Amino acid sequence: MSLSQHAVKIIPFFTSPHLPSLLTFYKTYFPDFTISPHPTDTTDPTFASIWTGPAAAANIYIIQDEKRARGSCMIMIDSVTALEELYARLVAQGLLQPSSDAAAWTGIPVSASTPALVHPQQTRLGPCEDKPWGYRQFDLVDLHGNLIVFFAFLSE
């Protein structure tokens, strides 16, 4: 058996001390993700898969666990234009652009209808900028400390 011939994808794990509030965060800011909590017959799930794209190309598993380290992943977007549109949408939804001081990055919900469980002091949206390794990218830290780096390859 050759792993290179049979591996299909890598699925990162994130953790959360309170999974329902983290799923609310993803429903609010990423409505195009499909969210599948488990068990499905409870309001307090202990596992969820959030995914989008063909064959769940972008997929993250989240487990409720206070003791594990936070997770991180990178999601490649197919064009710089689409990446910039995603960034603009997140800013328009209330995740504010960061100040020049990285320590002050904060996402503050704009709408009063945004759930109170979104803790702005823990949600951060980094700048969308070109990197020397050939990506345009931005970082998003969700309200439980998990990091997603969204990136697209720069045109050559």
For position 121, which CATH number holds? Answer: 3.10.180.10
Per-residue pLDDT tens over the stretch 71-100 = 899 999 999 999 999 999 999 988 865 544
Query: Residue 69 sits in which domain range?
Result: 6-153
Residue indicated by tokens 């390859």: 153
Containing 89, the helix (H) or strand (E) segment is helix 80-92
Going by pLDDT thresholds of 50, 70 and 90, the confidence category of residue 2 is low
Per-residue pLDDT tens over the stretch 28-61 = 999 999 999 998 888 889 999 999 988 888 899 9
pTM of the prediction? 0.70
Q: Does the residue 1 lie in any domain? A: no
Going by pLDDT thresholds of 50, 70 and 90, the confidence category of residue 127 is very high
Number of structural domains (the chain) is 1
Q: CA–CA separation, 2 vs 58, rounded Å? A: 24
